[in-house]
Amino acid sequence: MTLKLAVYSAKSYDRTYLDSVLASDHADLCSITYHPFPLSLETVPLAQGSTAVCAFVNDTLDAPVLRTLHSIGVRAILLRCAGFNNVDLPVAEELGLFVANVPSYSPEAVAEFTIALLQTLNRNIHRAYNRVREGNFNLEGFLGITLYGKTVGIIGVGRIGLALAKIVRGFGCRLIASDPKPGLSPEEFRDGYGGEFVDLDTLLKEADIVSLHCPLTRGTKHIISTENLGKMKRGALLVNTSRGSLVDTKAAIEALKSGQLGGLALDVYEEEGAWFYNDHSQEIIHDDTLMRLMTFPNALVCGHQAFFTREALTEIAATTLANLEDWLAQRPCKNSLVREGHLVVPEGKEPVRI
């Protein structure tokens, strides 16, 4: 009997790339049923008859959902994303569920989008686009800064942070970075990327631009807080393409109002689960914080699209199905977070429930 995989929060592009990779590289591995609805306690019954489910960043995989999934026969949780803060991993361990993620995919895609956000914010490209369409070619209010010679601070130097470091170096920026457990030595970072490791306080104090590329853990939730915003250079720019809860949004709004923060570009948002990836253009969005944020001319919000390239979607689909194949074949899976009833989360990336 062919294993059945239920894919939640499925969009047309998920179907396209999963079906393509399944047909070309994993023939007869499974049959896939796609559900456009997010995974929640109410939608768990859609997984009836499936041995595995595939979830995305804003699906709910808390204790009640995991226990219900297990009760109907689901034994594997495949995350088609890197983050796993939406999964109650200790409960998955207790139930003996297999959980695996896609820890890295096309880091260049996210790094490139980070630069796109930064320059759009810095040079007011989004505002210029709308102004010119109305026949207004006035440049008032569009004054930006030249990146050359500025100090860019990267918080988190995993694969995405390092991909950004390469791009930033090409702009002629001074590069500093902070990471409690970097995967390379200070000498390697200096020689390979032209950068310097500093502590977080030094980075916040010296950077003209701060870009977030760390995972969401107990130690990094609201790493951009009122206190840390106050340590930043007045007028500095902040970009977040990692996880929404790295930034205390209300604190960031206050920093924008006071001028302490010169600009804010977000591809992620603390409460994005209720809104992102769906069309709410015909509704009233009942999120006063998000709506307030979008009134600022120096704030830019996108809908978690930094990963959204053909190359990244191909890699996500390939890794997701390879994780499933490893589990079915009972062979070690390098991307597993829970296997054989044991939690195997990488050190320093402890599960956090937000």
| Domain spans, the chain | 4-105+309-329, 107-301
Q: If you average pLDDT over residues 175-179, what whole number do you get?
A: 97
Given 93, 270, 272, 315, which residue is catalytic? 272
273: confidence class by pLDDT, cuts 50, 70, 90:
confident
Extract the tokens encoding 125. 């490209």
Task: Report the CATH fold assignment for 107-301.
Answer: Rossmann fold (3.40.50)
First-residue to last-residue Cα distance in the chain: 38
Phi and psi at residue 93, in whole multiples of 5°? -65, -45
Given 243, 270, 315, 339, which residue is catalytic? 243
Inform me whether the pLDDT recorded for 347 exceeds 70: no
| Shared fold status for 4-105+309-329 and 107-301 | yes
Q: What percent of the chain has pLDDT over 70?
A: 96
Inform me whether the pLDDT recorded for 348 exceeds 90: no
What average pLDDT does the structure give for the chain?
A: 93
Q: What is the pLDDT of residue 27?
A: 85
Q: What is the pLDDT of residue 1?
A: 60
Task: Give yes or no: 243 in active site.
Answer: yes
Inform me whether the pLDDT recorded for 40 exceeds 90: yes
Give the CATH number of domain 4-105+309-329; options: 3.40.50.720, 1.10.10.10, 3.40.605.10, 3.40.50.300.
Answer: 3.40.50.720
How many residues would you count in the chain? 354
Nearest C-alpha neighbor of 76 from the set 53, 95, 105, 101: 53
> Strand 174-178 to strand 76-79: parallel, antiparallel, or no bridges (unpaired)?
unpaired
Extract the tokens encoding 322. 């390879």
Per-residue pLDDT tens over the stretch 48-105: 999 999 999 889 999 999 999 999 999 999 999 988 888 999 999 999 999 999 988 8
Total Cβ atoms within 10 A of residue 296: 16
Give me the amino acid identity at 238.
Answer: L
Q: If you average pLDDT over residues 277-282, what whole number do you get?
A: 89
Q: Which segments of the chain are extended strands (E)?
A: 3-7, 30-34, 52-55, 76-79, 98-100, 151-155, 174-178, 195-197, 209-212, 236-240, 261-266, 299-301, 336-339, 342-343
Give the residues across from 224 on adjacent strands.
Answer: 247
Nearest C-alpha neighbor of 114 from the set 166, 60, 79: 166
Inform me whether the pLDDT recorded for 156 exceeds 50: yes
Per-residue pLDDT tens over the stretch 223-266: 999 999 999 999 999 999 999 999 999 999 999 999 999 999 99
Write the burial class of residue 124 (CB in 10 Å: 0-12 exposed, 13-18 middle, 19+ buried): buried
Q: If you average pLDDT over residues 38-54, what whole number do you get?
A: 96
Q: What is the pLDDT of residue 71?
A: 97
Inform me whether the pLDDT recorded for 146 exceeds 90: yes
Distance, CA of 302 to CA of 241 (rounded, Å): 9
Task: Give yes or no: 272 in active site.
Answer: yes
Distance, CA of 76 to CA of 18 (rounded, Å): 17
Distance, CA of 44 to CA of 63 (rounded, Å): 12
Per-residue pLDDT tens over the stretch 280-296: 999 999 999 999 999 99
Inform me whether the pLDDT recorded for 352 exceeds 50: no
341: confidence class by pLDDT, cuts 50, 70, 90:
low
Nearest C-alpha neighbor of 265 from the set 118, 112, 161, 109: 118
333: confidence class by pLDDT, cuts 50, 70, 90:
very high
Extract the tokens encoding 124. 């007011």
